[in-house]
Amino acid sequence: MSFKTKKIPEHLIIKPPTWDRPKKRGRWILWLIGPIVCLGILVLAVESMAEEIEKPGSGQLVFRNQSGIDKAALHVSSKLAIEISGIVAHMTFTQEFSNHTNLWQEGIYVFPLPETAGVNFMQIKIGERLIKAVVKEKDEARRIYKKAMANGQKAAMVEQLRPNLFTQKVSNIAPGETIIIEIRLIQHIDYVSGSFVLRFPTTITPRYTPQRTINRIRRDNSNEPKRNEAELDQLETFKSGCAFLNETAGSGCAFTYETTKVTDEHKTNIHYQDQLQNPIEISINLNSGLKLSQITSPYHKIKVERRDMHHKISLRKGTTSMDRDFILEWQPTENNLPQTAIFREHLEDDEYILLMVLPPNHQTENQYLPKEMIFIIDTSGSMGGESIRQAKASLSKAIQGLRRQDHFNIIEFNSLYSRLFYESHLANSHNKQLALSWVNRLTAGGGTEILPALRAALRPAQSNELLKQIIFITDGAVSNEMELFSLIHTKLNNAKLFTVGIGSAPNSYFMRKAAQFGGGTFTHIGDASEVHSKMNQLFEKLENPLVRDISITWDSSTESYPNRIPSLYLNEPLLVVAKTKNLKGSVKIHGLTTSKNWSQKLILDTHKSQPGIASLWARAKIDSLEDEKIAGRSAEEVRKEIVNIALKHQLVSQYTSLIAIEEIISRPPQLKLSNSQIPNLNPRGHGTIKLNYPKTATGGELSFWMGCLSIMLCFIWMSRRYSLKKQI
């Protein structure tokens, strides 16, 4: 309305020339300056755009560091000492954080641990001082840690991201100082196809979070600005062109939110570097109590010193780089393998028992049952390099091993999935040949969208006469494990799922759990030379389970895990941990084999006590509670139970962390604290190159429309001026 005031036109029209002249000169200056200012603004805008072009640049490796200081701000060297007695391993994992900068530092390190290990001890070592950690609820521990960090006290905290993935945070490391963090964990040893196996991961294959999961989280998170919605919808529409992706929406929501919350956290925390000096020193004291025929480490060169039944094992070079899982295998001499092993511990009023029983091998050559075999092969980007070659070799081997009566199909997935056949075909030589050439052409690249592929594999078999078996070949480099377990749990029906873990650093947690929910077994292949023997072992297991419906007659005061004992395959032991009040007498084990019933009596109370069994029991209980959550129990209930058991047994879990605080305030408040993330090594054989995405749009269109906008404004202005003039 202000335009209608008549003051403007009056000024414009009534212009005494004598008064105007000096003013006009000033106006001309403005006319000159105006465009120059505009030009300046435009140039600046273009400059800032150009800067953004340069920033992501070309294929350069960038190590992000929040403080922007030297790359190797913090240095970590690790030491692993393992004491193995029988089938229990006590590990001491030491991380040395040295600060090479002249700033106070907080170190953050994401590291893997064995997926069945219970972390029950941590201490900080600063010079001669030792500070022991306690287990607190996760949120409380975080609060304490943050407060201590702000106060300038030294503090350390271990948090669990996944059962096999942990974060270590150490605050207030003085310039030039070295802080040693000692973590202790306990684990039972696996027995696989005739040998005992200890697996210790040292690095993490980069994990993939499915696009759809991210989308859902973004949508769930109402605090997030809505700016992404349009783009996300576009993505969804693009993807919905592909079969079955829509079908999956709306399943497993309850878990996704939770898992991905954790995921986002670890996504920001893992950094990778290709050339990195963070060596690990490994020394093992092996006291298996058995006569051993050989001790081997398939991927590392080791030195073995023998003293009677004791073996001291160390790395031949002293240290190794942390780019692949460390594995130690030991084989007892034939006829020297006991059928049962029992370990116990007395703690407070309870007796804890760990028992391992190897069922007798009664396998008889009975009639071969034709099967429907579905192979799922992961061809995602993380499988690139050595991994995809191993996976293809394994799959080819499996195809060759099919019998004429079997039906089979292959599903290949990365961001999308595709199938060899629409429906399973008979494994005749023609179809096998087609399959082999199809497999030969597979290549790795793209995302790891397991869910749609798994869903396709789990669709009911075409005929119920066939025994359906799914063999899943992957590195498990995903972060939505819970969602997948829940799918396997609900959709499996009578099928069996077997996982084959590929690569230098597979996600063993995924392999083990997926196989557990799938009622099958897991196999690890870490080297091309192992493909033949490992796939043969797997094929032997693919025959019917050796022992089914196993039960143990505990008395009523006993709490034993696993809750439901899984069927055992060839050369697999029965492994149970139990807590009981009454250790007198014996228990009976019953089971069904293909030919006859198996029953065995075990006398419990004669065995010597050994520390750590209680922790193993608590760890197994937590594991079992997590499974209940997948089966549908309320998350809050499970959380309460896990917190209780974890606090009682001092274990790190999804809801509890270990935290240690030094009383002394070491950092003067006027000095700033920087923050450094310790990168992990890329797994060995990862033939991938890392590129920054190039900037692939010009500002041309933007400029054009900006020009249009400006001329439109110009016209509007002029027309208004014209109309104003007319009004007068």
Partner 1 sequence: MIHNIRPTFIICCLLTITILCWGNALKIYFKAIAAQILINITWEQTLEGNPQPPWPWADTTPVAKIRNEKNGDSFIVLSGGKGNSLAFGPAHIDGTKHPGDKGTSVIAGHRDTHFAFLENSEMGDRISIQSLSGIWSSYEINKLSIHDIRDHKFWHIDSDLDQLLLVTCYPFDTIDPNGPLRLIVTLRQTIDFDSVSASILSPEDRFVSSLK
Q: Which of 671, 687, 723, 728 binds partner 1 (CB under 8 A)?
A: 687
The yes or no reply on residue 382 touching partner 1 (CB under 8 A) is yes
The torsion defined by the Cα of 655, 661, 666 and 672, in degrees rounded to 10, comes to 10
Give the one residue of 4, 23, 25, 672 binding partner 1; rule: CB under 8 A.
23
Question: What is the C-alpha separation between 316 and 320, in angstroms, rounded?
Answer: 9
Residues 327-366: x/- map of binding to partner 1 (CB under 8 A)?
----------------------------------------
CB 147 within 8 A of CB 648: no
Q: Least distance to partner 1 from the beta carbon of 372, Å? A: 17
- Residue 532 lies near partner 1 (rule: CB under 8 A): no
Of 596, 405, 378, the closest CA to residue 501 belongs to: 378
CB crowding 252-285: b at 16 or more within 10 Å, else e = beebbeebbebbeebeebbbbbeebebbbbbbbe
Residue 690 as a binder of partner 1 (CB under 8 A): the answer is: yes
Which is it for strands 559-561 and 597-603: parallel, antiparallel or unpaired?
unpaired
Query: Of 586 and 692, which has the nearer Cβ to partner 1?
Result: 692
DSSP letter for 562, please: S
Cα(635)–Cα(258) distance, integer angstroms? 10
The binder of partner 1 chosen from 52, 140, 229, 247 (CB under 8 A) = 52
Q: Shortest CA distance to 496 belongs to which of 452, 544, 451? A: 544
243 interacts with partner 1 by CB under 8 A: yes
Residue from the set 394, 415, 479, 680 that interacts with partner 1 by CB under 8 A? 415
Member of 1, 238, 365, 636 binding partner 1 (CB under 8 A):
238
CA distance 633 to 656: 20
Which is it for strands 190-192 and 178-188: parallel, antiparallel or unpaired? unpaired
Q: Which residue number, 309 or 718, has a Cβ lying nearer to partner 1? A: 718
Binding mask 441-480 for partner 1 (x = CB under 8 A): x-xxxxx---------------------------------
Q: Find the binding residues for partner 1 in span 607-666 (CB under 8 A).
A: none
The residues pairing with 346 across neighbouring beta strands, listed in sequence order, are 351
Of 3, 39, 549, 563, the one binding partner 1 (CB under 8 A) is 39
Return the closest-CA partner of residue 355 out of 373, 335, 341, 365: 341
- Tell me the closest approach of the beta carbon of residue 243 to partner 1, in angstroms: 6
| Count of residues in contact with partner 1, rule CB under 8 A | 86
Among 494, 705, 723, 728, the residue binding partner 1 under the rule CB under 8 A is 705
Burial 150-172 (b: 16+ CB within 10 A, else e): eebbbbbbbbbbbbbbbbbbbbb
Q: Which stretch binds partner 1 (CB under 8 A): 58-66, 127-135, 359-367, 531-539?
A: 58-66
Q: Which listed residue (135, 295, 313, 420) binds partner 1 by CB under 8 A?
A: 420
The sign of the CA dihedral 239, 241, 245, 250 is: positive
Rule CB under 8 A: is residue 698 a binding residue for partner 1?
Answer: yes
Cβ distance to partner 1 smaller for residue 80 or 478: 478
The reply on whether position 248 binds partner 1 by CB under 8 A is no
CB of 725 to partner 1, least distance (A): 10
Nearer to partner 1, 29 or 361 (CB): 29
CB nearer to partner 1: pick between 379 and 521: 379
List the interface residues with partner 1, window 103-132 (CB under 8 A).
Answer: none
Interface pick for partner 1 out of 150, 369, 671, 691 (rule CB under 8 A): 691
Residue in 388, 395, 457, 646 binding partner 1, rule: CB under 8 A: 388
Question: Tokens 């089914």, residue?
Answer: 548
Instruction: Look at residues 181, 150, 177, 574 and name the one whose alpha carbon lies nearest to residue 360.
Output: 574
Q: How far is the CB of 134 from partner 1 (least distance, A)?
A: 36
Of 147-155, 420-428, 631-639, 658-666: span binding partner 1 (CB under 8 A): 420-428
**Region near partner 1 per CB under 8 A, out of 196-204, 287-295, 419-427, 622-630:** 419-427
Instruction: Identify the DSSP state of 679.
Output: P
393 makes contact with partner 1 (CB under 8 A): no
Q: Out of 283, 363, 418, 624, point to the residue binding partner 1 (CB under 8 A).
A: 418
Contact assessment for residue 645 and residue 166, using Cβ atoms and an 8 Å cutoff: no
Map the footprint of partner 1 across residues 163-222, applying CB under 8 A.
206, 209, 211, 214
385 binds partner 1 per the rule CB under 8 A = yes
Separation of alpha carbons 354 and 344, rounded Å: 6
Interface with partner 1, residue 693, by CB under 8 A? yes
Q: Which residues contact 649 (CB under 8 A, 6 or more apart)?
A: 118, 120, 614, 615, 618
Q: Which is nearer to partner 1, 125 or 271 (CB)?
A: 271
68 is a site residue for partner 1 (CB under 8 A): no
The reply on whether position 416 binds partner 1 by CB under 8 A is yes
Q: Which of 86, 305, 316 is nearest to 198 (CA)?
A: 86
Establish if 19 lies at the interface with partner 1 (CB under 8 A): no
Q: How far apart are CA 716 and CA 6, in angstroms?
A: 20
- Regarding 40 and contact with partner 1 (CB under 8 A), the answer is no
Who contacts 620 (Cβ-Cβ below 8 Å, separation ≥6)?
561, 562, 577
Among 138, 162, 188, 419, binds partner 1 (CB under 8 A): 419
Give the C-alpha distances (Å, rounded to integers) separating 472 from 131, 319, 455, 511.
45, 34, 12, 9
Of 94-102, 178-186, 568-576, 707-715, which segment contacts partner 1 by CB under 8 A?
707-715
Among 699, 719, 727, 728, binds partner 1 (CB under 8 A): 699
Work out how close the CB of 416 gets to partner 1 at its nearest, in angstroms, rounded to a whole number.
Answer: 6
Q: Per rule CB under 8 A, is residue 18 in the interface with partner 1? A: no
Residue 516 has, within 13 A of its CA and on its CB side, a CA count of 20
Nearest distance, CB of residue 697 and partner 1, angstroms: 4
From 43-51, 348-356, 628-636, 656-664, span contacting partner 1 (CB under 8 A): 43-51
Q: Determine the Cα–Cα distance for residues 11 and 198; give it in Å rounded to an integer.
A: 92
Sign of CA pseudo-dihedral 257, 260, 486, 632: negative
Q: DSSP assignment, residue 4?
A: G
Question: Per CB under 8 A, which of residues 549..578 are in contact with partner 1?
Answer: none
Question: Considering only CA atoms, which of 650, 644, 654, 268 is closest in space to residue 482?
Answer: 654
Rank residues 206 and 501 by Cβ distance to partner 1 and give the closer one: 206
Q: Is 369 helix (H, G, I), strand (E, B) or coil?
A: coil
Binding status of residue 34 toward partner 1 by CB under 8 A = yes
